[in-house]
Structures are given as structure tokens and as C-alpha cells.
Amino acid sequence: MGNFGNKWNKFVEIFVERNGYVKVVEGLQNTLLIAVFGMLIGILIGTLIATVRVIPKYKTLPRALNAVCTFYVGLFRGTPMVVQLLVFYYVLLPLMGVKMQGVRVAMFVFGLNSGAYISEIMRSGIQSVDAGQLEAGRAVGLGFAPAMIKIVIPQAVKNILPTLGNEFIALIKETSVVSFVGAADLYVAFNYIGSNSYEFMVPYLVMAAIYIVLVMFISLLVKIMERSLKKSDRRN
Amino acid sequence: MIDVIDLKKSFGSLEVLKGINVTVNKGDIVVVIGPSGSGKSTFLRCLNCMEDPTSGSIIFNGVDIADMRVDINVHRRHMGMVFQHFNLFNNKTVIENIMLAPVYVRCQELKKRRRQRLFGKGGQEAAPQATKAQIKEQAYGEALALLKRIGLEDKADAYPSTLSGGQKQRVAIVRALAMNPDVILFDEPTSALDPEMVGEVLDLMKELAKEGMTMVIVTHEMGFAKEVANRVLFMDEGVILESAPPKEFFANPQHARAKEFLSKVL
Ligand SMILES: Nc1ncnc2c1ncn2[C@@H]1O[C@H](COP(=O)(O)OP(=O)(O)OP(=O)(O)O)[C@@H](O)[C@H]1O
Ligand SMILES: [Mg+2]
């Protein structure tokens, strides 16, 4: 274990004296930014897709929109996140002649990707809301969209909050691949420390610990949320 | 007020309504009865186009609302609807349930007027008179008055799931009233209630009838039909077999089907 102590000292030296901690804070910040914005964009896209998917389909426009959504979901669920990041960064952006920072690219692609997953979650949420709710909204003269936004979707979201929490955890874990497009996340920070000390054991161990703490913290929040929702259900 | 002309409705290959002709005049209390599956609910839901008629016309205040080109939302605001299972908005408090549609509609109108003014249309008289806050305050006052009327003002901030069935249905009725509708459609408003709560809902409906509200009511409450209706429609297999004042209908039904039905329910 003297060996391990040695390794630990090297880590601490770089972490503290050679500004390793700055990189780690920056990495943590980027990891969270990508997960949070990815989630927000995903909720937006997911809600839109889910709504399109529950519209009755006797007319042409809903049918066409539904086909587009099915394709979209199939595409993003059928390919790995890394591939989506690479294609976006190295193929689509150059083709469109756009330059974008890695972190932005990652937020965007994470949003598109989680949108596909969240649309399925949201769809089951919407289907869990009694059809009479939408009917009553339409009967007082609200259009389809206002009735969905004011009445159905809030109830759907309440029903799927725990599942959304798990999706957020999945997103946080998946951010560990964003260095493929040059975004400086936690992995990049600890890799920097490792490369500078030629010693990777401790940095990666600490990185793992940070991920575990993050995920446990969010799981805890989700549990608390779940419990308080259940309580309000009983009271109501 | 409502003219139904040769209304037909099919679900896939199943023809549920086979050509219905009915006129509802202002102040009418029309009660629709008939065996299960005869198409009563479908008929009622066609009146405000919750189900799109397959063919035929629904002339409401001079406009054919069965025409897909009309903005059905505008017309629905003048037709209240009360459901068997209440369908109060679960994510809103009692008072929010009542205020939702009035506030939404008035805010839409406000936006429209502002837009018109912005583009110089509509002239001076189109100046917006109220702000959003004023609209909300006014709607709140109206909603509270409606709740007082049914004796539930202390439930204003409660959620629907804390109410009894009878309370829910009475709130649902005043929710429909809040839009000042020309007519209210009821689909078996007391069928999901415990027996001891049926009375309070029927009493409220009787009050509305006395005040001259136009109502179309699908119900199995024959006593109520006898007492309140000025016309009974007997439906069977997608057609209206009889349309008569309740006295006539209950004393002397014309069709064998109607006789058979009455002998079962009375
Ligand atoms: N959305 C629908 N899709 C397919 N069939 C339907 C639909 N709604 C109603 N039907 C069918 O139409 C027929 C008439 O139904 P409707 O609900 O109008 O009858 P009802 O007279 O209201 O009966 P009840 O007294 O049981 O409420 C039934 O055979 C029913 O199965
Ligand atoms: Mg019915």
C-alpha cells in the first residue's frame, strides 16, 4: 500500500498545485450542463413527438407527421450516442458550414437523442391520463393544443416524473463520451491529471466516485419526489 | 336553436345513427331515453361534434357546425357539456376548473383585439378594456358566485379528488354554466353517482330548467323526465322512434319497442 500512497500523493499534487481541480470543476460543470440542457431539449422534443403520436390518425397530415416521428425515434434509438455525436460533429456541421463548440454540440445531440427516448415515456404518460380529461377540455371550447398543454400534459408529467428522473441519470452517465467531439467533461479532466502524472489509477478511481455520488444524489431526489407525489395522491 | 338534419354516424362499418331529425328550441328540456347501445350518447356527442357526424347537418344558431370548415371551438363555448364521469380537470382546483375556459377565451379575445389595434384594423372602439389580471379577477368573482350558488364556496381551493360524486357533478354543471352557454348537454349525469347523491344533482338541473336554460339530457331517471322534460325522445337502434311530451309518451307510447322499454324501466 506504500505504492498506493505514492500514487495518491502524485494525484493530490497535480490536483491542487497544478490546477487539476480547476479542470475537474470545469469538467463537472460541462457534464451537468450537457445533461441538464440535453434533458430540457429532450423534454421539449419528446412532448411534441408524443403529442403527434396520440393525435387521431384519419387525416393525412397527422399521419405524415406520425411517420416522420416514427422515423426520428427509430433513428435515434437505433444508433449509439457516440455515433450520433461523431456524425453530427464531423459530417453534418461541416456540410452545413457551421462551427460549434464541443459542449454545445453535445447538448444539442443529447437533446435530440433523449427526445427520442422521452417521447416514448411521455406517450405512456399521456395514455395514462383518462381520455375524459381531454374531452372535457375540448367541450369547454379549448382547441387540441391548449387542452393538451393546460390539462393533459401536466397530469402526464406528474405520472412519469420518476421515469424522467431515471432518464436524467442515464443522460449523466452517457456524458462520459462527449470528449469524442472535444467537450471537456469529467473524463477529460481526470485524463489530464492522469497524463501529467503518468498515473491513472487514482484519477479514474476518484472520477468513478464522483459519478457514483452524482447518481446517488439524483436517485435520492427522485425518490423524495416520488414519495411526496404519492402522499399528495392519497390526500387528494 | 339546434336543428339536426338527417344526422348519420358510423364507427367503421357499424352504423350507430341512421338518420336523425330533431329540432331543439330555446328553453326546451329534451330528455333522450332508450335501451343501452341505441346511440343516445353518440347522438348527444354529435350535437357539439365531439364525434364528427358521418353525414347530415347540425345547425346551431344558424351555422352548420358539422361542416369541417367552421371553427368548432368557438361554437362549443356556447354549448355546455356534462359527463357521466364528471371529467373535472384533476390538475386544477375546483375554482380553477370553473375559471379555466372563461379566462382562456377572454384572454384570446384580448390578444386578438390587441393584434387588430396593432395593425390599425378595428378602429378606436376596439381598444382593449381589460388586462389579463382584471379578466382573472372578474372570472374569479363569477366562479365564486357559482360555487356559492351550489353551496360549495368552501371547496374553492380543494382538488376534485377530495369531493364526493354529487359535489363533483354539481361543480361540473357550474363549470358548464360559467361560459353562459345557450344550451347544456347532459350524458347520464347521475348514472355514476351513489343513490343518495342523485337528488342533489337532479335538483340543480331542475333549478336550471326553471330558469329557462335549454337542455338536452340523456338519462335513465324516468321520474325526472316526467317531471321536468317538455319533450321525450325515444331512441332505438340509431333512430328516434318517438318524440312526444312526457305525459303523452309515458301514458300512451305508440311503438311496441317503447312499450317494451317502459315496462322494463318503470
Ligand atoms: N368510439 C366508438 N367506436 C366504436 N364504436 C362505438 C364508439 N362509441 C360508441 N360505439 C358503439 O355505438 C353504439 C351506440 O353507442 P352509444 O354509446 O351511443 O349508446 P348509448 O345509447 O349511449 O348506450 P348506453 O345507454 O349504454 O350509454 C354501441 O354499439 C357502441 O358500441
Ligand atoms: Mg351512453
pLDDT confidence of residue B190:
95
- Ligand 1 mutation pick, B36, B41, B235, max ligand atoms within 8 A of CB: B41
Of B50, B73, B74, the CB nearest to A135: B50
Question: What pLDDT, on a 0 to 100 scale, did the predictor assign at position A19?
Answer: 80
**What's the burial of A96, exposed, middle or buried (CB within 10 Å: 0-12/13-18/19+)?**
exposed
Could you give the 3-state DSSP secondary structure of residue B135?
helix
Look at residue A21 in the predicted model and tell me its pLDDT.
Answer: 84
**Tens of pLDDT, residue by residue, chain B (266 residues):** 999 999 999 998 999 999 999 999 999 999 999 999 999 999 999 999 999 999 999 999 999 999 888 999 999 999 999 999 999 999 999 999 999 999 999 999 888 888 887 776 655 555 556 788 899 999 999 999 999 999 999 999 999 999 999 999 999 999 999 999 999 999 999 999 999 999 999 999 999 999 999 999 999 999 999 999 999 999 999 999 999 999 999 999 999 999 999 998 87
The rounded distance, in Å, linking the Cα atoms of B46 and B3 is 12
Taking the CA of residue B79 and the nearest CA in chain A, the distance in Å comes to: 8
Query: Looking at chain A, which residue has its C-alpha nearest residue B92?
Result: A151
* Cα separation, B226 vs B266, whole angstroms: 12
Q: What is the pLDDT of residue B91?
A: 92
> According to the model, what pLDDT value does residue B86 have?
95
Sorting pLDDT into bands at 50, 70 and 90, what band is A3?
confident
| Residues in Cβ contact with B5 at an 8 Å cutoff, skipping those fewer than 6 apart | B21, B56, B57, B58, B59
- Position of cell 387542452? A147
Q: Which residues of B are less than 8 Å from A130 in CB distance?
A: 85, 87
pLDDT at residue B9, rounded to an integer: 95
Q: How far is A148 from chain B (nearest CA, A)?
A: 12
Where does residue B7 rank: exposed (0-12), middle (13-18), buried (19+ CB within 10 A)?
A: buried
Q: Where does the pLDDT of residue A236 fall: very low under 50, low under 70, confident under 90, or very high at 90 and above?
A: very low
Q: Where are the domains of chain A?
A: 22-188
Residue whose CA is at the smallest distance from ligand 1 atom 4: B11
Residues with CB under 5 Å of ion ligand 2 are B 41
Q: How far is B141 from chain A (nearest CA, A)?
A: 19
* Grid coordinates of B104: 382562456
Question: Could you give the CA distance from residue B147 to residue B174 in angstroms, rounded to a whole number?
Answer: 8
Q: Which three cell numbers stand for residue B1?
A: 336553436
pLDDT digits (tens, 9 = 90+) for A15-58: 777 788 888 899 999 999 999 999 999 999 999 999 999 887 77
pLDDT at B211: 94
Q: Considering only CB atoms, which chain B residues are within 8 Å of A141?
A: 73-74, 76-77, 101, 104-105, 179
For the stretch A174-185, pLDDT in tens is 999 999 998 999
A75-93: pLDDT as tens digits? 999 999 999 999 999 999 9
Nearest to B20 by CA among B34, B3, B36: B3
Residues 6+ apart with CB under 8 A from B182: B1, B26, B61, B78, B79, B214
The residue of chain B with its CA nearest to that of A145 is B73
**pLDDT value for A232:** 58
* Residue B80 near residue B29, CB atoms below 8 Å: no
Task: Please tell me the predicted confidence (pLDDT) of residue B117.
Answer: 79
Query: What residue's CA is closest to ligand 1, atom 17?
Result: B41
Q: How far apart are CA B256 and CA B245, in angstroms?
A: 18
Chain B hits for A133, Cβ within 8 Å: 87, 89-90
User: CB–CB of B197/B166 below 8 Å?
Assistant: yes
* Pick from B165, B217, B212: nearest CA to B186: B217
Q: What secondary structure does DSSP assign to chain A, as a single string?
A: -HHHHHHHHHHHIIIIITSHHHHHHHHHHHHHHHHHHHHHHHHHHHHHHHHHHHS--SSHHHHHHHHHHHHHHHHHHSS-HHHHHHHIIIIIHHHHT----HHHHHHHHHHHHHHHHHHHHHHHHHHTS-HHHHHHHHHTT--HHHHIIIIIHHHHHHHHHHHHHHHHHHHHHHGGGGGGGT---HHHHHHHHHHHHT--HHHHHHHHHHHHHHHHHHHHHHHHHHHHHHHHHHH-
Select from 1.10.3720.10, 3.40.50.2300, 3.30.420.40, 1.10.230.10 the CATH code of A22-188. Answer: 1.10.3720.10
Q: Mutate which of A140, A144, A158 to disrupt the B interface (most B C-beta within 10 Å)?
A: A140
User: Grid coordinates in use for B239?
Assistant: 333512430
Top mutation candidate among B7, B40, B216 for ligand 1, by most atoms within 8 Å of CB: B40
The confidence score (pLDDT) of residue A119 equals: 95
Q: Can you tell me which atom of ligand 1 is nearest the CA of B188?
A: 27
**Average pLDDT over every residue of A106-122:** 95
Query: Whats the size of chain B, residue-wise?
Result: 266
pLDDT given at position B164: 94
